[in-house]
Amino acid sequence: MEPMIKRSVREGFQAANRSVSGMAFLAGGWLLLFAVFLLSAAGMGLSQAFTAAEPTRRALALPAPASALNEKALAPVSEPKPSSPADASAPATDAPQPSAPAADSQAPDVPAPAATTDASAPAPTATPGASAPAPTAPAADVPADAALSPDVDVTEPPAEPDQNEALNDALRRSWFGLVLLSIVVVVGMMWLEGGRTGYMAKQIRRVPVGISEFWVAGTRSLGRLLGSWLLSMAGVGIGLLVIILVAMLGAVAGPGVSIALGVVLLIAALPALVWLMVRLGFWWIAIVVDGLGPIQAIKASFRATKGRWWKTAGLWGLLALIAIGVSLPFSLIEGIGRAVGGGVGMFLTIASALGSFALANVYWMFLTTGSLIRFYEDTKGAAGHQPSAVSS
């Protein structure tokens, strides 16, 4: 039978609706891997980085010690003491600098005249023979928070903490453990991918299936899936190398040539990448369902899409639109929750996150896998091949 998009999506929905237990198992596996990665990474690398950067973070968060601040900026302003008859009889040389005019010592019975702002009043004169010290400006009244302002003259602040260096140092000490942890996570994800594909293959063929199929199909196809993942990473590395070489060539030739090369690379690479992704759309399905190796599965995916590129691209496009339609309501609910705030807003945000994870991620992946398996099986039927014994 010639594969049809409508039939593939319809049976994909039907198979996904029968796979509630498989969805729960897959979601639990994802959460377990995520928790293991976070806890292990924190224990090996992140906690060391935060511990190393803690003293410098405290140096920025707390104010400088009092001894490091400018004493002038923090000096309290002394208020002048009220004058008394005893102070009036003191020599003029002991009088404080610029202050209210001192009382006339030769006329103790006459009170000192009040200070006036009249410009015609004569300026006070110093007593003959007394050396008047140079006047000094009064201490400014500096607020407490102004002492920590960059505009105030203070001693040199503590050096800026280099938290990136602390993080890099922690990663250098624990890189081997992080590499092992990444390998464990990749192996776990490939095992779950193989189990989900084998589980949905039996759901599409309406064969009784249980959670044990995750173990059977995942274990059976794990090595071949890891090989295909390594090939994918090698392709990504080659693409990055080409981009780096083009960037280096553009830097040597000049900005105009660099922009021209970037535009040409984008125009040439983007259509080629889309074409290749569609042709490889059944790569991992062929590995799990037919039990093929990575190279043989690439050939099988090319055979399945030969003469059907636009139809296969239409299937992927429809599945992408379904994913957007499912996730859009949860995005709106999350936006409403952020706008409302408070307890209601937090509840809406958490509910939207859980709903998006359950429907827009887990359910959509089962729907996509089922639809692709149905389409792939129909391409083999159209070519005269029998359904794979692995999926039966």
Name which of 39, 56, 61 is nearest 169 in CA terms. Answer: 56
Average pLDDT over residues 58-70: 47
Out of 50-59, 323-332, 351-360, give the one with best mean pLDDT: 323-332
- The confidence score (pLDDT) of residue 257 equals 77
Per-residue model confidence as pLDDT tens digits over 162-219: 566 766 776 677 778 888 888 999 999 999 999 999 999 999 999 889 999 999 999 9
Residue 132 has pLDDT above 60, yes or no: no
Tens of pLDDT, residues 328-357:
888 898 889 888 888 888 888 888 888 888
According to the model, what pLDDT value does residue 147 have? 47
Instruction: Answer yes or no: is 153 within a domain.
Output: no
Q: Are 220 and 289 in contact (CB under 8 A)?
A: no
pLDDT band at 263 (very low <50, low <70, confident <90, very high): confident
pLDDT value of position 288? 95
Nearest Cα residue to 348 out of 357, 339, 358: 339
Higher pLDDT pick, 239 / 369: 369
End-to-end CA distance of the chain: 18
Mark out the alpha helices in the chain (DSSP H runs).
Answer: 5-17, 20-41, 47-61, 71-74, 85-88, 163-204, 212-253, 255-279, 283-290, 294-305, 309-340, 342-355, 364-382
* 140-162 tens-digit pLDDT: 454 554 445 555 454 555 555 55
- The overall average pLDDT reported for the chain is 76
Residue 310 C-alpha from the chain's centroid: 36
Q: How many domains, the chain?
A: 1
In a domain, 223, yes or no: yes
Calculate mean pLDDT across residues 314-332: 92
Tell me if 178 is assigned to some domain.
yes
Calpha distance 89→83 (Å, rounded): 11
The residue among 123 and 345 whose pLDDT is bigger is 345
Query: Considering the domain boundaries, does residue 103 fall inside one?
Result: no
- Domain coverage including residue 172: 5-56+163-232+284-382
In a domain, 115, yes or no: no
How confident is the model over 23-41, as pLDDT tens digits?
999 999 999 988 888 888 7
User: Do the domain assignments include residue 371?
Assistant: yes
183 found inside a domain: yes
Share of the chain above pLDDT 90, in %: 39
pLDDT, tens digit, 9 for 90 and up, residues 65-119: 444 444 444 455 555 555 544 444 444 444 445 444 444 444 444 444 444 444 4
Please state the rounded mean pLDDT for residues 263-290: 92
Asked if residue 168 belongs to a domain, the reply is: yes
Indicate whether this model's pTM tops 0.85: no
Residue 275 CA to residue 108 CA, distance in Å, equals 108
Percent of the chain whose pLDDT exceeds 70: 65
